[in-house]
Structures are given as structure tokens and as C-alpha cells.
Amino acid sequence: MKTSSLAALFQNGRKLTYEKDEIIIRAEDIPSGVYYINSGWVKAYTLSKDKEPAIVMTLFPGDIFPCAWALTGIDHDLHFAALDETEVSRISTKQFNTAVKNNARLSRELLQVFANNFFALTNELTNIQYHTAKEKVIYRLLFLAKNFGKKENNKIVIHKHIPNEYIARSTNMTRETTSREMSRLTRKRLIRHTDEQIIIPDINGLIKEIEYDSKGVTSRPPFTKVLSDALQ
């Protein structure tokens, strides 16, 4: 497989490994460089006045951070921490910016990363605007299935440890509410949830749970079609 220009740029960077919930960058710190995610996943989050984390965005392998600071020097106000065991590569800001300016292919790949991040951020914001716990949890499961899911014997299997706390923090709900909704979906056999994976036996059956009637027409919440089409 041909290595992308972005991956090649970070290939000789310093490799760093972080455990679950270990902080990579604090909001008040000046970053030590630009990070590229090799494996695992990273949460970008803020802290409430009660010091509770609220996940703003989830980053996956192939993503880089902190983008705005790296390109513009604008101070970031986000914390970045590993959601699971995560490996990143880090290079200096100077090396990153020099490569971006002098490599057209790299610049195009970077634009694609930003476009993907914009879509992911839109998904995060869409998820928060839903009113019911059922909608929020199912939409988050579709989002995770799109990023981590593998189709196996007509089932979607998310081979990842997904704690209820992550779903709660990323949907602005309490852990108790999230746990109740996950239990309800399990009882209805719409999901099977273990410590190491989530299995969705029937993706269309799960989506039907959040369909609604609009003037006699069955409709789905925004962005659901985009996510479900990617899983077919």
C-alpha cells in the first residue's frame, strides 16, 4: 500500500504512546509540536465549571492535531487526551509548516483531513441537538460504526472498547441515562455490548428506532442517511 504524504511526513517523528485518559496536550500548555495519530483514538474536549469533560470532537488514525495552532499560531483552548491506548508521532511546527508550503500533494491531503474533520465536527454538533436519549445514543453508535465498524456475516462489529462514559461525555448526557438507554437497546436485541466490542445485528433495525413521521412521510434525523449508507 502506498504511504500517504502526510503519513510519510510523520514517519521519522518522535513516537509516543499514551494510555487511556492520559492527557496529551492541556489547553493552557504550548504544544510541543504537531501530532499524527498512528493508532488508537483521541478526544478533544473542554472542561465545564465543575471540571467535568465535554467531548467536542473525536480524532482517529490519520488525523493530526492541534491544526489551528500549527498553521496560524492561534492559541487553542482544548485539551487532548487518549481514549484508549494510542500511539502518535510528533514533529516540530517548523518542520510541519515548511513541508505544507513546499509539497502540493501534502497540502491536498491536509485539506482532505480538514474536510473530514469538518464533517466529523458537524456530526458531533448534530448529535448534541437531538432531544431524546434514544436518538443521541443511536446516532453515536452509527458514528462509531462508521469509523470502527467491520461488516461480518451481515452484522456490524465495532472492535473497540467503548465505555458508556465516552458516549455520555460526547452526547452531553449523564452516564446513568446512557447506561439505561444502552441496556434498553440490548434488551430489544438491537445491539450486543461487551467490554471489547459492540455488535449491531441489524443496522436498519437500529436506524428504524429513530425514524419519525413527518406529514405522513417516514423520515430520519439529519445525517443519519450519510452514516447508514456508509455502513451498507
Give me the domains of the chain, ranges plus CATH numbers.
Answer: 5-127 (2.60.120.10), 131-231 (1.10.10.10)
Output the tens digit of pLDDT for each of the chain's 232 residues. Answer: 446 889 999 999 999 999 999 999 999 888 999 999 999 999 999 887 778 888 888 899 999 999 888 888 877 789 999 999 999 999 999 999 999 999 999 999 988 888 888 877 777 776 667 778 998 899 889 888 888 888 888 899 998 888 898 899 888 888 999 999 999 999 999 999 888 899 999 888 888 888 765 555 555 555 555 455 555 5
DSSP3 helix / strand / coil % (the chain, rounded to 5) = 45, 25, 30
Question: Residues near 127 by Cβ (< 8 Å), separated by ≥ 6?
Answer: 136, 139, 140, 143, 170, 171
Count of Cβ atoms closer than 10 Å to residue 79 Cβ: 19
Count of Cβ atoms closer than 10 Å to residue 50 Cβ: 5
pLDDT at 228: 54
pTM of the shown model: 0.78
CA distance to 27, 85, 87, per residue, from 18 (Å): 17, 6, 6
Q: Is 67 exposed, middle or buried (0-12, 13-18, 19+ CB in 10 A)?
A: middle
The 3-state DSSP class for residue 50 equals: coil
Convert 152-217 into a string of H (helix), E (strand) and C (coil): ECCEEEECCCCCHHHHHHHHCCCHHHHHHHHHHHHHCCCCEECCCCEEECCHHHHHHCCCEEECCE
